[in-house]
Amino acid sequence: KAKETGKNKYIFFNKEMNKEIADKLYIYNHLRTALENNEFTLHYQPQIDLKTNGLIGFEALIRWKTKDFGEIPPMKFITIAEESDMIIKIGDWVLKEACQFAKEVNQGTNKYVISINVSANQLREDDFVEKVIHTIDEAKISPDHIGIEITETALMNDFAMNAKKIYKLKKMGIQTSLDDFGTGYSSLNYLRQLPINTLKIDKSFIGDLLKNDKVYNLTEDIILISQKLGFMVVAEGVELKQQQVVLEQYQCDVIQGYLISKPLTKAKALEFSHNHLFNDVI
Ligand code: C2E
Ligand code: MG
Ligand code: MG
Ligand code: MG
């Protein structure tokens, strides 16, 4: 089969493959020490209420700066971390770090929610809910300052079990969001049984919002259905003012994206929240 594609292509493919394997090996071998060497940081991306223009909170996004390759994006290393127990260790660190930020950013105010991404592997752990509650307790913060983001795909892995865990989190006052909505395969029947607070429309929809009539119409329907189900709606990946205008018309609740701000370092995010107490962003 390789022969049919021609010699050049075969060699090209081989090189690509070698690089991919080498990258993966590097990542795999360095993940464990990365935690010990404090190579991870969290960045925080502001989320803005479209009705009031007010800052409602931030999404915590992990960053990894390596000595040899510089920044490695989470899409690359999270999937590799998910192949072992590394994702649990990294997830524990993220949870702790984000709770610390929640504490700092709410000093002197009491209104920002920090949303934390968790992977299916974390959610699957028996003690997941207890761990979240314990970490919140240890940081001495209020549970309603923390949100947990679960992707549609992770949720559907084991819907019944995950729905129970989400219900427990909700009972404790912790916010929950369904992340990357539209990329998985949840049915209306599942959605209506789901005790989440928030639905996040995937950024691929927002990217096509102004380019594709079907997406334009579908986005309105997603928002209408979310409202009927009682979910707050966040649009992620908003880059253009015109996208914001359309989302406003559709009565989307919250936007997040480069239009407002890229994910910020901890210091910059704190600064953003302070400035925001006095100025409107948009
Ligand atoms: P996500 O949770 O859907 O996060 C949104 C992604 O969109 C982030 O990418 C963010 O930087 C990016 N983004 C935000 N605004 C815009 C925009 O206007 N335009 C575009 N093109 N992109 C925008 P990032 O930080 O590279 O993270 C990618 C994914 O990695 C996340 O997707 C999430 O699934 C995962 N991830 C990030 N941090 C963590 C973490 O701490 N734990 C776990 N388990 N996964 C994480
Ligand atoms: Mg997310
Ligand atoms: Mg997302
Ligand atoms: Mg994603």
Over the chain (282 residues), the average pLDDT of each successive run of 10 is: 49 71 87 93 98 96 92 95 95 98 93 96 97 98 97 90 96 97 86 94 97 96 96 98 98 98 98 78 48
Residue in the block written with tokens 């070698």: 18
Helix pair angle (213-229, 241-249), 10° resolution: 50
Which residues have CB under 8 Å from 215's CB, separation 6+? 205, 208, 209
User: Identity (one letter) of the amino acid at 143?
Assistant: P
User: Ligand 1 within 6 A of 57 CB?
Assistant: no
pTM of the model: 0.93
Helical H segments across 187-237, by residue range: 188-192, 203-208, 213-229
User: Ligand 1 within 6 A of 45 CB?
Assistant: yes
User: Ligand 1 within 6 A of 152 CB?
Assistant: no
User: Ligand 1 within 6 A of 46 CB?
Assistant: no
Ligand 4 mean position, distance from CA 27 (Å): 20
**Using the 8-state DSSP alphabet, how is residue 261 labeled?**
-
The two tokens of residue 183 are 């990329």
Closest CA to 93 of 18, 40, 27: 40
Dist CA 127 CA 149 (whole Å)? 17
